[in-house]
Amino acid sequence: MKRKFLLGVLLLATPARGADEKFALRGKELTLHERGARGGRPALVASGDGGWVHLAPQLAEQLAGAGFFVVGLDSKQYLSAFTSGQKTLTPDDVKADFKTLLEHTIQGSAHRPLLVGVSEGAGLLVLAGGDPAVQALAQGVIACGLGDKNELGWRFRDSIIYITKGVPDEPTFSVLEIVDRVSPLPLLVLQSTHDEFVPPQELRTIFDKAREPKRLRLIEAADHRISDNQQELRKQVLLGIAWIDAQLQGRTP
């Protein structure tokens, strides 16, 4: 009964608006998109490399409407800020940066934060989630639209991938090579049945490599961002949060 009530809250609540905040990260100014009231259950939401549009802000607002305090990261802005000449982010940079972002997110809360990522943001959170320092802070990872190759830099020229559906000409890291390190954090993967960026076999190989606790839910949808089945996505996010909670309590709902 409690889970059904919470599901109704998430699906029906008015999206909670919030303020955008300037945040200094290693000398670079980023815009963090905060939703909900600080002190609520925290969540860090990282967007895809298209910027703070579509799925990431939608999830952030729905979570905030259900009582979460959400800090949203524009992954495109984050990558761009640390790309100059031949210099881009390194995997160690990402781990340290997300630890800093988590420390900012949990201020004023007694709860461990959820990590929620979309596409490139999902890859970045899997990379960060394999770091023991991040694991000490976080509760679990929810990855929407997770693929294998994820970039560590971004330039304007990389926008061509929106047409080619390929990978930017930047240094990358492989989720397949690191996804097993996310454990013991619970990993929930939510994916469209018709993802134009991530072939089904690529997703299955990644998920098979991940270690328990893990959960995969395929959502019947027409594209990578699940644009035509948002209600089912929101439902699966909340059910996934309940599953993550249960893993930490040593039981499965």
Span 190-209, pLDDT tens digits: 999 999 999 999 999 999 99
Question: Can you tell me the mean pLDDT for 25-45?
Answer: 97
Residue 253 included in any domain: no
CATH number at residue 133: 3.40.50.1820
What's the one-letter identity of residue 246?
A
How many domains in the chain? 1
The pLDDT, as a whole number, for residue 20 is 96
In this prediction, residue 16 has a pLDDT band, given cuts at 50, 70 and 90, of low
Residue 225 included in any domain: yes
| pLDDT, tens digit (0-9, with 9 covering 90-100), for 64-115 | 998 999 999 999 999 999 999 999 999 999 999 999 999 999 999 999 999 9
Specify the 3-state DSSP secondary structure of 125: helix
The pLDDT, as a whole number, for residue 17 is 55
Residue 9 included in any domain: no
The burial class, CB within 10 Å (0-12 / 13-18 / 19+), for 25 is middle
The pLDDT, as a whole number, for residue 13 is 46
Residue 26 included in any domain: yes
Question: 105-111: which pairs have CB atoms within 8 A and are 24 or more residues apart?
Answer: 105/42, 105/43, 105/44, 105/69, 105/71, 106/42, 106/137, 107/38, 108/38, 108/39, 109/38, 109/39, 109/40, 109/41, 109/42, 109/69, 111/41, 111/42, 111/139
Percent of the chain with pLDDT over 90: 85
| Report field, pTM of the whole predicted structure over 0.85 | yes
Chain mean pLDDT for the chain: 92
In this prediction, residue 160 has a pLDDT band, given cuts at 50, 70 and 90, of confident
Nearest Cα to Cα of residue 69 among 51, 100, 44, 99: 44
Residue 12 included in any domain: no
- In 95-251, the DSSP E strands lie at 114-118, 140-144, 149-151, 172-174, 187-192, 214-219
Q: Which domain holds residue 100?
A: 18-248
The pLDDT, as a whole number, for residue 249 is 81
| pLDDT, tens digit (0-9, with 9 covering 90-100), for 165-184 | 888 899 999 999 999 999 99
| Alpha-carbon distance values, 50 to 21, 163, 230, 239, 251 (Å) | 20, 12, 18, 27, 37
Residue 10 included in any domain: no
Residue 2 included in any domain: no
Residue 156 included in any domain: yes
